[in-house]
Structure 1
Amino acid sequence: MDLKKIDAPLTTTTYNRNAVDAPTGNIYEAISIISRRAEQINSEIKKELIEKLEEFATYNDSLEEVFENKEQIEVSKFYEKLPKPHALAVKEWLDSKIYYRNTEEDNQK
């Protein structure tokens, strides 16, 4: 996921209910799919952030000394300014970039 090319909204946005539930025909199913994708996005972003912060980590034995690393601060600020995972998931859903399938329909065939 390229976080620099994301065009999801940073603030709360009202979406057309009919556009959200159009692919599934059920608003609850659509929200369930979007929430699962938001959880995936959140874990990806968290993993990426931890990896980047580990690059700049300094380890010391003294608990009294706290070092502020400018690189770590800049990385943290970048991730704080990103849209929330649920906004990214809704954007992907509305752009038809999320693959989903109904396992109950697959079992009936």
Structure 2
Amino acid sequence: MANINPSITTRNTDKLVEPTGNIYETVVILSKRARQISTGLKEELNSKLAEFASTVDNLEEIFENREQIEISKFYERMPKPTLLAIDEFMEDKVMFRKPEEDIEE
């Protein structure tokens, strides 16, 4: 994940279409994978922030807030789930199949 450039880059659509043969199928696959990644990251972030949940106000809360801010900043600096999905797709790390192929078998 650390090697992915978080900024916008131009993509060759011909290379994106190669595995599926259809740009719309590629977009659907990428969007579903990005949603999976996003959900996983959100659950991970929420579990880390849940450790700081407290109903008591005290002086330690100031220090905990700093830790919460650092955790949040880490996740904000990460590449977006869409970029991660595209990178995985281009490296053939995303498995997909067509429902029509399942029916024929």
TM-score between both structures, scaled by the size of structure 1: 0.85
**Superposed displacement of residue 91, structure 1:** 0.4
2:14 counterpart (18, 22, 27): 18
1:16 and 1:98 map into 2 onto residues whose CA distance is 18
1:82 counterpart (75, 78, 98): 78
Deviation string 1:87-107 (CA, Å, 9 cap, x unpaired) is 000000001000001111221
2:22 and 2:2 map into 1 onto residues whose CA distance is 27
**Superposed displacement of residue 59, structure 1:** 1.9
Measured on the aligned residues, the alpha-carbon RMSD in Å equals: 1.4
2:2 is aligned to 6
1:37-52 equivalence runs, <5 A? 37-52=33-48
TM-score between both structures, scaled by the size of structure 2: 0.88
1:88 and 1:6 map into 2 onto residues whose CA distance is 10
What are the ranges of 5 or more consecutive residues in structure 2 without an aligned counterpart?
Answer: none
Q: Percent identity?
A: 46
**Superposed displacement of residue 13, structure 1:** 1.3
What are the ranges of 5 or more consecutive residues in structure 1 without an aligned counterpart?
Answer: 62-66
2:23 is aligned to 27
1:7 and 1:45 map into 2 onto residues whose CA distance is 17
Deviation string 1:2-54 (CA, Å, 9 cap, x unpaired) is xxx43222111111111101101111101100100000000000000000011
Task: Give the residue type in structure 2 aligned to 1:28.
Answer: Y
